[in-house]
Amino acid sequence: MTTLSPVPDITTLTVGSVVGTRTVTVDRSRLVRYAGASGDFNPIHWNDTFAQGVGLPGVIAHGMFTMGAAVALVEDWAGDPGRVVDYQTRFTRPVPVPNPGEAVVEVSAVIGAIDLEARTARVDLTVTFEGARVLGKSQAVVAL
């Protein structure tokens, strides 16, 4: 049985407060598992020759994988994934995944806005790979 975290108290939140940070490691086996779960078997996610042939540095992580891995930090903080009522982002650059090895994606989240009347908080995510943003304007709205 999974125990959910307590819901953050919206009255104690302040804009700019850090929600949390997380490191996400991505290797080729994780890409294969994600491809199977999502049905996205595009060869840019598993075939270096194909990926390089279309101008990429090699195999890249699925954008939706990166997006989902990033918002998991917010879901954990909120105590329930169902509390995330809106999530939007832009894909700004790919995450190359070496073979062998792994890519390391850094995620940080801060409170960007609070709506006491609606009892929601907007959480702004910064998602980077090797110091460069891979997701832009990444924001989740959480019902509290």
In Å, what is the CA distance from 59 to each residue of 50, 64, 131?
8, 15, 19
pLDDT at residue 2, rounded to an integer: 56
For residue 60, give the nearest of 37, 34, 21 by alpha carbon.
34
CATH code for the domain defined by 10-27+62-143: 3.10.129.10
Segments in the chain below pLDDT 70: 1-4
pLDDT at residue 5, rounded to an integer: 73
pLDDT at residue 27, rounded to an integer: 98
In Å, what is the CA distance from 73 to each residue of 13, 42, 61, 65, 121?
17, 27, 18, 13, 14
- Cα gap 127→129, rounded to integer Å: 7
pLDDT digits 0-9 by tens, 76-112: 999 999 999 999 999 999 999 999 999 999 999 999 9
Burial category of 143 from C-beta neighbours within 10 Å (exposed 0-12, middle 13-18, buried 19 and up): middle
Q: Residue 31 in contact with residue 51, Cβ under 8 Å?
A: no
pLDDT at residue 1, rounded to an integer: 54
* 8-state DSSP, 54: T
This prediction has a pTM of 0.93
> Which residues lie below 8 Å from residue 118, measured CB to CB, with a gap of 6+?
none
pLDDT at residue 56, rounded to an integer: 97
Task: Compute the half-sphere exposure of residue 90: CA atoms within 13 Å on the CB side of its CA.
Answer: 4
* In 1-144, beta strands by DSSP E: 18-27, 84-91, 102-115, 120-129, 132-143
Query: What residue type is assigned to position 18 of the chain?
Result: V
- Domains in the chain: boundaries: 10-27+62-143
